[in-house]
Amino acid sequence: DAGVIQSPRHEVTEMGQEVTLRCKPISGHDYLFWYRQTMMRGLELLIYFNNNVPIDDSGMPEDRFSAKMPNASFSTLKIQPSEPRDSAVYFCASSLSGRFVGAFFGQGTRLTVV
């Protein structure tokens, strides 16, 4: 398995633009997590899904953020409109319930909003 795949790896956009981050979890994993990492706030859980259903989105900072998981192999995190304070590394991770193997992270998307 190729692991969790995120795209793009880097994204530079102008304030006000829409940004879409993509994630392909490990095949067979039933949990998917979106995290945001900054120096100031560390690793923040934004939202997580179980079997494609959003379970907890209490970490989503504002209505400008939305996440979807239309099927078991794909998820998106969208920011519209983007702001400079959204600049961070966004990680997607997946895990398999019932197994003590932890969460597998993608390589992240480094987002810069100018």
Partner 1 sequence: GQQVMQIPQYQHVQEGEDFTTYCNSSTTLSNIQWYKQRPGGHPVFLIQLVKSGEVKKQKRLTFQFGEAKKNSSLHITATQTTDVGTYFCAGPTDSSYKLIFGSGTRLLVRP
Looking at beta carbons only, is 82 or 95 nearer to partner 1? 95
Nearest distance in Å: CB 53, partner 1: 12
DSSP 36-95: EEETTTEEEEEEEEETTEEEE-TT--STTEEEEEEETTEEEEEESS--GGG-EEEEEEEE
Nearest distance in Å: CB 104, partner 1: 7
CA 95, CA 12: separation in Å to the nearest integer?
29
Looking at beta carbons only, is 33 or 65 nearer to partner 1? 33
Looking at beta carbons only, is 42 or 70 nearer to partner 1? 42
Going by C-alpha positions, the residue among 46, 89, 86, 87 that lies closest to residue 68 is 46
Nearest distance in Å: CB 98, partner 1: 10
Contacting residues toward partner 1, per CB under 8 A: 31, 33, 35, 42-43, 45, 48, 50, 55-56, 58, 91, 93, 95, 97, 100-108
